[in-house]
Structure 1
Amino acid sequence: MMQHNSSGAEAQNNGWTKPEAAATAQPGAVRLQALDLQTVPRPVAVMTRDYEQTMDFGWHSHRRGQFLKCEDGFLTARILSASFIIPAGYGLLIAPDRPHAVKAHGPVRFSSVYIEPETRPELAWEPARVVNCSPLLSAAIAALLDEPVEYDEGGRGAHLAALILSEIARAREGAFALPEPADRRLQLLCREISADPAIDLDIDGWANRIGMSRRTMTRHFRTETGMSFAEWRRRLRVAHVLRLKAEGGRLEEIAARVGYRSVSALRAVLREAFS
């Protein structure tokens, strides 16, 4: 569970540039804002951002659906029912009008693809999910960034937009979601592990700590999150590892802080997460 409390400059002041300038400008001429891309007369619109340090964008939403692709660095995001980690080369698909919070950890570069909701009916918006970006999807997004915002609807830009939608629709989901349980006792468990992922308790120890039997805890946890407690804790630890790495931590220090006995054990977990 990742916290996103404060708002970054762009989330606080998501002001309009002049619509006519934003719609017709060539790449690089105008610094487009997210609001500018919600109403452009094209089904797909893209922008990119670079930040040199940690940035918290707070809670917000967009009229269009969003595909948030991490190009370099590391992002985390939240919706009301789950948290997500977004490593480089992956993207988070967020439904239209869905409140969400995003945080960039350390230097980061990301692209946002804004999609008209009815453009691709077969694109499943639910559940929100992190997917692996194919080389073709990455190249298509980069190429569309070089096109005018109001690209030729019968030309290269339109073909790139269609390719982006097709690649997102078929992208493979990664194991980077952390669903949040509704049970208050399980919420307490998740908060404690999030605050200190190195706590060395087994399932019996956690069940006793929150006043549940082992069987009840494990059954309820799987029912409410869709995964085992062990898998949820592994994903949480991976999230902490990637965040600490993005913020400049050394693997030896990170392994101890997150609860791994050695760097080799940590590397094995990371290989499994990205397999």
Structure 2
Amino acid sequence: MPRNGQSKPYRRTIPGLPSLPRPVYGRTESLPNRALTHRHSHPWVQLSYAIQGVLEIHTDTGRFVAPPQRAVWIPAGVPHRVFSSPRTEMRSLYLDCSVTAWAAEGCRVLQVSDLLRELIRAFSDVPVEYEESGADGRLAQVLLDQLAAAPTVELMLPLPHDERLRQLCRQLQAQPEQATTLTQWSQRLGLSEKTLSRLFLRDTGLTFRAWRQRLRLLGALTPLEQGARVTDVALDCGYDSTSAFIAAFRQQFGATPGEFFRG
């Protein structure tokens, strides 16, 4: 899904894993280039997490974005695709459903605390077939306890069910900087502006303006994490001024771009 002149990502392969060797399984992967994992699902829960880089998980219901200090919780059986930015260092977890009975339904983005981050790092060095009754097994249990306590954060872009709206959203995702108004979209789709606004709110829980703003701001996370200038990112996202972009970013994420990535 190339955007902003970026090259097409290469396809990652999914490791053949007929079953989990232990209830908690850690997978470490270094991805020097942009990568895409084709649509697939697992019979276990997956926590997609990167200590460096930005991950995007695409499902039928939305896009879930995880910069550092965030992770995406993917329930068992949910078809999804994974996109990663260049120089991503993944530390994913696969979790047997028997140890995640406490989890809420659906995909979501989790806040990763300093403690949880270090637990995930430490677990990546644990042998695959660790002793469940020993120290490594206790580490896995503490890791599960911290996952259960991790709060959900709003880093998800909901996708509508209505095919007319999905067409609109696909075009906006391909060109998030475009300034087509709701009135213009209603004319293209043969709907009244009031009807289009109502359908958008019903299907996504967001107004058209709020949805497009979230699309732009989530898309800004990868170039910002990669070190792009805030002014350049703001213009690429369709903002007329850097100050307007920073104000919108603060409203969405509770911090300026600099504060967000320092944190």
Normalised by the length of structure 2, the TM-score is: 0.85
Once the two structures are superposed, the pairs formed by residues 135-174 of structure 1 within 5 Å of their partners are: 135-174=114-153
Map of 1:66 onto structure 2: 46
Structure 1 residue 39 and structure 2 residue 39: aligned? no
For 1:190, what is the secondary structure of its paired residue?
helix
| 2-structure distance, mates of 1:110, 1:273 | 25
- Residues 138-191 of structure 1, C-alpha deviation per residue, up to 9 Å, x if partnerless? 121112122222222223222222222222222222211112112122112212
| 2-structure distance, mates of 1:168, 1:211 | 46
What amino acid is aligned across from residue 13 of structure 2 in structure 1?
Answer: E
Unaligned runs of 5+ in 1: 16-34
| 2-structure distance, mates of 1:170, 1:184 | 37
Q: For 1:191, which of 152, 156, 170 is the aligned residue?
A: 170
1:148–1:249: structure 2 CA closer, same or farther, 3 Å change rule? same
- Residues 218-263 of structure 1, C-alpha deviation per residue, up to 9 Å, x if partnerless? 2211221122222221221012212333566433222122111122
Q: For 1:51, which of 27, 31, 42 is the aligned residue?
A: 31
Unaligned runs of 5+ in 2: 255-263
| 1-structure distance, mates of 2:212, 2:27 | 34
Return 91-100 or 248-257, whichever deviates more. Answer: 248-257
- Residues 102-156 of structure 1, C-alpha deviation per residue, up to 9 Å, x if partnerless? 01112111211111012131112x2211111111211211121222222222232
Structure 1 residue 111 and structure 2 residue 91: aligned? yes
What amino acid is aligned across from residue 273 of structure 1 in structure 2?
Answer: Q
Structure 1 position 65, deviation (Å) = 0.8
Aligned length: 250
Return 260-269 or 241-250, whichever deviates more. Answer: 241-250
Once the two structures are superposed, the pairs formed by residues 1-275 of structure 1 within 5 Å of their partners are: 8-11=11-14, 14-15=15-16, 35=17, 38-40=19-21, 42-124=22-104, 126-246=105-225, 249-275=228-254
What amino acid is aligned across from residue 48 of structure 2 in structure 1?
Answer: L
For 1:97, what is the secondary structure of its paired residue?
coil
| 1-structure distance, mates of 2:151, 2:238 | 29
Q: Sequence identity, in percent?
A: 32
RMSD across aligned positions (CA)? 2.4
Structure 1 position 76, deviation (Å) = 1.1
| 2-structure distance, mates of 1:185, 1:9 | 32
Normalised by the length of structure 1, the TM-score is: 0.82
What amino acid is aligned across from residue 97 of structure 1 in structure 2?
Answer: G
Structure 1 position 97, deviation (Å) = 2.4
For 1:106, what is the secondary structure of its paired residue?
coil
- Residues 17-57 of structure 1, C-alpha deviation per residue, up to 9 Å, x if partnerless? xxxxxxxxxxxxxxxxxx27x420x2111122111111111
1:9–1:181: structure 2 CA closer, same or farther, 3 Å change rule? closer
Return 174-183 or 196-205, whichever deviates more. Answer: 196-205
Structure 1 position 212, deviation (Å) = 2.0
- Residues 180-204 of structure 1, C-alpha deviation per residue, up to 9 Å, x if partnerless? 1121221122122112212223433
Contact 1:6 / 1:57 at 8 angstroms: preserved in 2?
Answer: no
| 2-structure distance, mates of 1:132, 1:2 | 27
| 2-structure distance, mates of 1:167, 1:264 | 37
1:249–1:211: structure 2 CA closer, same or farther, 3 Å change rule? farther
